[in-house]
Structure 1
């Protein structure tokens, strides 16, 4: 989970698509920009979700979400101020973005139970 500078909610790394960029390509680019790592493993689609944006009032965020194993140690880069690893079934008492709390963590738990 990451928290961007000047914000309070934790969320997955990511961002907006560049022109002609796929969701998977955006994930690779954003994770490298925000965490300084290159994802090289297989990316499993987790789903398409919509929720209120954590940091933009009256705005919905539409997300294409992927799961991927990471064997490198991420470090905060760019606009990221804080990084935390959490367990999807026991998140700590921190503010989570609505997309994370309501959609991504439940999807991760479902993925885990299917493996």
Structure 2
């Protein structure tokens, strides 16, 4: 039997110092990229633009996001599920502020990964894209 799938859009947001933004949702123990499930009728790109704005306060137009591909791993916040993420890169110098369902956000560099509790998708697929 195949694990149920959760489809999301995720943003690999980097700043001018080469750090990547990760967020922790209320009630979660791990950090992940900003993003979430598309609303009905919403494209993956529309969803990532909206989710980044809602979760971090960073406002960017759709043309600022660069497609990175589709990635799959174990879902961090939904046990027994797999997450399939359409990922997009965004470079931003804007100040990020935790909003909506976000309890905490952090800017991390490659040296911070080992000490940061991260979702499998972030650790295994998305964060490495921030520093390639």
- TM-score normalised by structure 2 residue count: 0.77
Alignment coverage as a number of residue pairs: 109
Any gaps of 5 or more consecutive residues in structure 1? 111-115
Aligned to 1:113: none
CA positional deviation for 1:65: 0.5
Aligned to 2:37: 16
C-alpha offsets along residues 7-35 of structure 1, whole Å, 9 cap, x if unaligned? Answer: 11000011101112111110110011111
CA positional deviation for 1:39: 1.3
Of structures 1 and 2, the one scoring higher in RCO (CA 8 A, sep 6+) is 2
- TM-score normalised by structure 1 residue count: 0.88
Aligned to 2:130: 108
CA positional deviation for 1:46: 1.3
SS in 1 for 2:112: coil
Partners of 1:71 and 1:106 lie apart in 2 by 20
CA positional deviation for 1:109: 2.8
CA positional deviation for 1:82: 0.5
User: Which is strand-richer, 1 or 2?
Assistant: 2
Aligned to 1:26: 47
Aligned to 1:76: 98
